Each structure stands twice: as structure tokens, then as C-alpha cells.
Structure 1
Amino acid sequence: MTRIGLATIAREWGRIGCIGFGGPPAHIALLRDLCVTRRGWLTDREFEDGIAVTNLLPGPASTQLAILCAWRLRGTAGALVGGLCFIVPGLLLILALAVLFLADNAPAWVTGAAAGAGAAVPAVAAHAAWGLIPGSRQRIGAAKAARVRWVLYLLAGGVAAAVTGPWLVLVLIAAGLVEIAVRAPSGRRAAWPVVLALPAAGGGLGALAWVSAKVGALSYGGGFVIIPLMREDAVHTYGWMSDAQFLNAVALGQITPGPVVQTVAVVGYAAAGLGGGLLAAFVAFAPSFVMVIVGGPRLERLRDNDRAQAFLTGAGAAAIGAIAGSTLPLAWSLDRPWQFVLLGLAALWLLVLRRGVVTALVACGVIGAVIALF
């Protein structure tokens, strides 16, 4: 393990946390440039192994990669400092924007910008799902039976996100366990915390922590799976925010640097103010720190663990379906005619022209602000 000063880790990981716009691809590129290309702290093989391992874990993969790289350089202290410095800049910014965009007496241009950016969110979700499909198809294999299972996992996740809501976690876990059973029918079955699929009794901070725990511990298939995981609880079960406000939360999670999972902080703010936002972020990110620090060297074995690979194959495919399925209720929640026009333009920009997500959200937000003013 190369020992690097904590001040250096804080500075470099904090820099990435400030400029890491664009989600996991941008975070991976910045971490590779820092740790492999410029500083030579890690080899290409070590970095690629880190990507493979974190993709097998639930939760925000790019955040876990940042924590893992810092852990390799300075152990537990490095993981804590690097992870926090990577997360905190975007977290502070998204909480500040949440105060502005969720205010009861927000200026007209602010509400217009929120409605404009929110209108693009269904297209962003569809774009995210489409981008995940090639890797998932490669993972499932070329056999006809495997392709059939893959389609069924996609459909199950899509239906769960579009219709059943709170039972999505059970669908994700079931898809993973089915794939394990198919690939290793005589192997020992793994136990999974399916109880997290259920809503928490009552409400308040306990319910907020419960919802955030589901996001941090059971979000397979990329950061965007938090949309179907959180929407039902945040909007319908507990009523912390409206559908329009949830769209705003997702948009803020995309236009700010750092991991998309920071969207949970906006939901926490809507539920219980700044304290709720900080609590939600802590609970959502804590599993990532625990898995990397406690798992340590044993994480490398996941690459060769057939059951872990099989579970992620099934659960990941269902998660992609869930992300795609979430576009329907998200689009249905739009309530202004001009928002559907912006949704169509965003879909053209992202799905046909294959341009950037941040650009689409910012442009739609600007158009929404202009419409609100005039």
C-alpha cells in the first residue's frame, strides 16, 4: 500500500468533488488521470480491478471507487478523508440549491427553471437506461435462454417501477437470486435483507433513514435506480414532496458535481430541513464506506465469485428495466403543456443526437425560467 499524505488526499479528492460534473464516467476518468496517469499511485491493473469490484457492490459505484482508491493509498484514514472530500462539495451545493428551489416563496424564475429542468428528467432516465443496456447484455451471455431471462428481468423491473412502487427492491433481489439459482442450482443460497423492501412504520426521521438505507444498500445498476427506489416513498407513502419537487430533486442531482445519489439529500431536506438532508446523505453513503473499509483486501475476491457475478447480472438487468419504467410515472407527473415540448426536445438531444445530460438540463432550466418570467 502506497502511503500518501492525508492533506494530499484531501486536496486531490476534494478537487474531483468540485469539478466532477457528468456522473460516474467523469468521476472514473478524473480518478484514473490522478491515480494512474499523473501520479502513478496505482497501476492500470489495480485501477481496473477497483472498477470491477465496485461495480459488483450495491450503492454508488463511482463513490465507492473514490473511497477504494484512497483506501489503497492510506488505509482507513485515507478512505474516510478521500470519500468525504469527494462527497461534501457536491452535497453542500445541492443542499443550497434545495433551499432555493424548494422554498415556498421562491421567485418566478426559480420555479420556472425547476419546472424546465424537471421536464427533461424522464428523458434523462431513458438515456441512462439505454446507456446501461450494452454492458448488461454482454454480462448475461449469448445463450438463448440467458437472453430470455435478461428480457424477463428487464420487464419485471420496468413493471415494478411503473406500477408496484414499494416492491421494487424485492424484484431486484428476486432477479439476482433467480440468476444465482440458474447458474449454480446446487450451490448454497445467499441471505439478503429483503426486509428493506418494506416501508417503515410511522414517519419522521426514522422513515427518512429507512428510505435512505434502501438507496445506499440496495441500489444496483447505477445511480439512476434511486429514482424508482425513492419516488414511491418520498411522494406517495410519506408525502414529503410533490411529483414536481421530486423531478426537481433528480435534476439537481444531475447538474451538481459528485454522485447522483446525492439526490437523497434533497428528499431529506424536503422531509426534515437541513438536518434531514444531512441525515439522508449520511445513511445513504455510510454503507459504501463500510463495505470498502471493512471488506478491504477481500473485495478483490468478488471478481472471481460466480455467485456475486450472477446476482449482479440478474439484479442489474432488473434495475435497468426499473430505470426505464420510471420514465412513465415521471412523464405523467408533468402538468404544463410546454413541459412536454421540453421533454420532447430533451429526448431528441439525448437519445437521437447523443449529447450531454448536464447541457440538456441546464438548457431546459433556462427555457423554463424565461417562460416563467414572460
Structure 2
Amino acid sequence: MTRVGLGTIAREWGRIGCVGFGGPPAHIALLRDLCVTRRGWLTEREFEDGVAVTNLLPGPASTQLAILCAWRLRGVTGAVLGGVCFIVPGLVLILALAALFLADDAPAWVLGAAAGAGAAVPAVAVHAAWGLVPGSRRRVGARRSARLRWALHLVVGGVAAAITGPWLVLVLLVAGAVEVGARTSGGDRRTAWPVVLALPAVGGGLGAVAWVAAKVGALSYGGGFVIIPMMRQDAVHTYGWMTDAQFLNAVALGQITPGPVVQTVAVVGYAAAGLGGGLLAAFVAFAPSFAMVVAVGPRLERLRDDARAQAFLTGAGAAAIGAIGGSTVPLAWSLHQPWQFAVLGAALLWLLALKRGVVSALLVSGAVGVLVAVL
């Protein structure tokens, strides 16, 4: 283990937290440039192993990768410091924007920007799902039965996201368990995956905020977007903390700020209980990532070659991709103005046909919303 000073970790991981716009691809590229290319702290193989194993874990993979890289350089202390410095810049920015966008007396141009950026969110979900398909299919294998199961998991995940928000995590877990069972049938069946119920918490207040955030942080198989339907169900329908339009704003803010889309839950917590709710939601959502990396760091590499872990990821991952795509249905249903549907169509063209970036799509859409509001 290369021993790096804590001051260096705080500075470098904090820098990535400030400039890491663009989601996981940008975070991985920045971490690779720092740890492998410029500083030589990790070999290319060590870094690729880190990418592989963090993708096997539930939760924000790029955040877990940042924590894991820091852990390899300075142990538990480095992991905690690096993870915090990576998360905090985006968290501060997203909470500041939440205070502006969710204010009762927000200016017209702010509301317009929110409506414009929110209109592009369903297109961002489609783009996220489409980008995950090729890599996931490569893991499936050549057998026809495996391809059929993958397609079935994909469809089931999409339907679940569209119509069964609070039960989505159960669908992902079942899809993963089915794939494990299919691959171990006739052989060693001594495997057990935890079944975590995705039921809404009883009551409300900070306890409900913590419960929603815990589900987001511990059960987001396949990336941050997969928990959007579940989060929307809790925030909009179960507890009534936000309107559909405000939730779209929250997702947009999670995309245009540095850091993982999981930070959307901080906006939900802010809507529920102010600044304290936002900070609590962020703490609870990110705590599982720290716990998993720190607790099982020495054994994470074994997951890469674990057949049962790979099988579970194939099943749950396919369902997650379907869920990300299926989330576009309720998100698009939340739009009301004709010009918002025009923005949505333009965003789809921008992302899928022209292959431009997500941040630019949201910023341009927000600018269109400002023009509509002003004119």
C-alpha cells in the first residue's frame, strides 16, 4: 500500500469533488488520471479491479471508487477523509441550489429554469439506460437461455419502475436471485442473498427522511438513476414532501452539480425538513458506501471472480437498466406545458442522436425555461 499524506488526499479528492461534473464517467476519468497516470499511486490493474468490484456493490459506484482508492493509499483514515472531501463540494452546492429552487417566493426566472431543466430529465434517464446496455450485455454470455433471461429482467425492471415505485428494489433483488439460481441449478446451491423490504416507513419527520435515504444508499443497484422511481414514490406520493415538478427539479440539480446523482436525496431531505433534513439524508445515503468499502476492503478483490456475485449483478443489473428506462414514464407524465415536451424532444435528439453531454443538455434546457418565463 502506497502511503500518501492526509493533506494530499484532502486536496486532491476535494479538487475532484469540485470539478467532477458529468457523473460517474467523469469521476472515474479524474481518479484514473490522478492515481494512475500522474502520481503512479496505483497500477492500471489495481485501478481496473477497483472499478470492477465497486460496480458489484449497491450504491454510487464512483463514490465507492473514490473511497476505495483513498483507502488503498492511507487505510481507513484516508478512506473517510477522501470520501468526505469528494462528496462535500457537490453537497454544499446542491443544498444551496435547493434553497433557491424550492423557496416559496422564488423569482420567475428560477422557476422557469427549473421547469426547463426538469423537462429534460426523462431524456437523461433514457440516455443513462442506453449507455448501460452494451456493457451489461457483454456479461451475459452467448447462451440463448442467458440472453432470454437478461431480456426478461430488462422488461420486468422497466414495468416495475413505471408502475410499482415502492417495490422496485424487491424486483431488482428477485431478478438477481433468479439469475443466481439459474446459474447454480444442478450444482452448489449454498448461497443466500439478503432480502430487504422496500416498504415505506411508518409516520413521517426525520425518521422517514432517514428511511428513504437508507434505501437510496444501500439499494441502488445499477447506479443512482435506478432509485429515482422509488424516491419519487416516497417524496411525492407517500409523504407529500414535494410536487412532481419539484422532484424533477431535484433530479436535474443532481445532474448539473458535481458528484453522484444519489445526492438528489439531499434535495428531498431539504424539502422534507430543511437544511437538517438535507444533511441527514446525505449522511444516511452515503454511510453504506463508507461501511462497505472500509469493512470489506481487503476482500473486495475476490468479488470480481465470484461467480455468484457476477450472476447476481447480471440479473439485478439488467432489471436496473430496465428500471432506469421505465422511470421515464412517470417522469414524462409529470410535465404539463407544451413547450416542456418540445424541450424533452430536443434533449433526446441532443443526447442520443448528437451524442452531446448531459450537463449541457440540462443547462440549455434551463436557459430555454428562463426565456419562456421572462418573455
TM-score range, shorter chain: over 0.9
Q: What amino acid is aligned across from residue 225 of structure 2 in structure 1?
A: F
Q: Answer whether contact 2:254 2:261 (CA < 8 A) is retained.
A: yes
State, as a whole percentage, how many aligned pairs show the same letter. Answer: 80
The residue that corresponds to 2:269 in the other structure is 268
The residue that corresponds to 1:127 in the other structure is 127
Structure 1, gaps ≥5 residues long: none
Higher mean C-alpha deviation, range 227-236 or range 267-276: 227-236
The residue that corresponds to 1:300 in the other structure is 301
The residue that corresponds to 2:211 in the other structure is 210
The residue that corresponds to 1:191 in the other structure is 193
Aligned pairs for 1:16-31 within 5 A:
16-31=16-31
Shift of 1:204: 1.2
Aligned pairs for 1:1-374 within 5 A:
1-185=1-185, 186-195=188-197, 197-374=198-375
Shift of 1:236: 0.6
Q: 2 CA distance for matches of 1:226 and 1:171?
A: 12
Shift of 1:226: 2.2
Structure 2, gaps ≥5 residues long: none
Aligned positions, number: 373
TM-superposition CA deviations, 1:10-49 (whole Å, max 9, x none):
0000000000000000000000000000000000010000
Q: 1 CA distance for matches of 2:14 and 2:165?
A: 36
Q: What amino acid is aligned across from residue 364 of structure 2 in structure 1?
A: A
Q: 2 CA distance for matches of 1:26 and 1:61?
A: 12
Shift of 1:296: 1.6
Shift of 1:189: 2.9
Q: What amino acid is aligned across from residue 285 of structure 2 in structure 1?
A: A
TM-score normalised to structure 2 length = 0.98
Q: 1 CA distance for matches of 2:360 and 2:117?
A: 10
For residue 166 of structure 1, give the secondary structure of its aligned residue in structure 2.
Answer: helix
Q: What amino acid is aligned across from residue 303 of structure 2 in structure 1?
A: L
Q: Answer whether contact 2:222 2:320 (CA < 8 A) is retained.
A: yes
TM-score normalised to structure 1 length = 0.99
For residue 194 of structure 1, give the secondary structure of its aligned residue in structure 2.
Answer: coil
Shift of 1:191: 3.4
TM-superposition CA deviations, 1:202-254 (whole Å, max 9, x none):
11111111111111111011121121221111111111101100100000000
Shift of 1:311: 0.6
Q: Answer whether contact 2:119 2:340 (CA < 8 A) is retained.
A: yes
Shift of 1:258: 1.1
Q: 1 CA distance for matches of 2:155 and 2:200?
A: 23
Q: 2 CA distance for matches of 1:191 and 1:324?
A: 25
Q: Answer whether contact 2:177 2:193 (CA < 8 A) is retained.
A: no
Structure 1 stretches of 4+ moved >4 Å: none
For residue 166 of structure 2, give the secondary structure of its aligned residue in structure 1.
Answer: coil
Q: What amino acid is aligned across from residue 107 of structure 2 in structure 1?
A: P
